[in-house]
Amino acid sequence: MNRALRLFICIAVLATCAFAQTTLNGAGATFPYPIYSKWFNEYHNLHSDIQINYQSIGSGGGIRQVQAGTVDFGATDGPMSDEQISQSKVKVLHVPAVLGAVVPAYNIPGVNAEVKFTPDVLADIFLGKITSWNDARIAKANPGVNFPNQTITVVHRSDGSGTTYIFTDYLSKVSPDWQNVVGKGTSVKWPIGLGGKGNEGVAGSIRQLPGSVGYIELIYALQNKIPFGIVQNSSKNFIKASLDSTTAAAVGVKVPDDFRVSITNPPGKNAYPIASFTWLLVPTNPADAKKGKILKDFLFWMLDSGQGMVEALSYAPLPKEVMEKEKAAIAKMVKP
């Protein structure tokens, strides 16, 4: 092989490598991290020239970074507020990605039954008004279960979190005391408890601490084999989080044009009450048009092909009418 040919091959290889380094960076919610990891890996397998990196730092961090324009996209489980949108350097589209459920997970020594939680009991545990597992109000909803005389240790998120937003949004709807004392948000002033970073951190603390209870996304409870409670919904039915009951939470919900909507404590008799959309936060006209086009193509793939992968990871797919509405909004993003 002559020198000129070798040089030509080297240049061609370098050019190919450079093209393969098109990278999109995102950050935000831990709630959808398992399915995002799956999607980004599958998309890379289909498009080897595209790499999508995602940092699971919590919804609060995802919102801040997309506001500042330091990432190509963000992710959140609690929609941005009007104030946050006004403070953003870029115009952002909320793109629902999947439906997920937040569950009250626990570690109660000697209790193997699925514990039932009424809304008022759940709120008062996290307010610090119910402090022992053998409290009469817990026992009333769980006849036949022998609860230990053990102090309840509450575990909550320490970071800005969409999972926190979903949980506190729910508690604010079902408990006037919670609404008045704590309220809802990605970060709140917790009356009691220990903090854990990410769904991973809360799940880990619950596994390690006898007597503990916390809130985590369903997939983290299943992956870590942590028991989680059955929650009474607005129809007074006790519902276990599942794909069907999470999907039921979104049935009949009117989704606004900006896709910012809460579906906690819905009216459906079979609906799990602590469910939510989770959103990708996408700049509608990014400075880098090439990256914008790649992200736009990915979003269409996510809706057309990616939804078929969600149930294996215990997320619920988006309703068809929501996906069609999303596609219309995505089509108006940066033009190809």
pLDDT digits (tens, 9 = 90+) for 211-227: 999 999 998 899 889 99
| Beta-carbon contacts of residue 195 (< 8 Å; ≥ 6 apart) | 155, 156, 157, 158, 201
Cβ atoms of 265 and 248 closer than 8 Å: no
21-31 pLDDT tens trace: 789 999 999 88
**Where in the chain are the domains?**
3-98+277-330, 101-250
pTM listed for this prediction: 0.84
Whether the CB-CB separation of 234 and 265 falls below 8 Å is answered with yes
CA distance linking residue 34 with residue 108, whole number of Å = 27
Two domains, one topology: 3-98+277-330 and 101-250? yes
* Pairing of β 73-76 and β 275-283: antiparallel
CATH of 3-98+277-330, one of 3.40.190.10, 1.10.760.10, 3.40.50.300, 3.60.40.10: 3.40.190.10
What are the CA-CA distances from residue 93 to residues 72, 73, 168, 289, 328 (Å)? 12, 10, 24, 16, 12
Query: pLDDT (tens digit, 9 = 90+) per residue, 2-51?
Result: 555 455 544 444 444 444 578 999 999 988 999 999 999 999 999 999 99
Our separate counts of H helices and E strands in the chain read 13, 11
The CATH H-level (homologous superfamily) assignment of domain 101-250 is Periplasmic binding protein-like II (3.40.190.10)
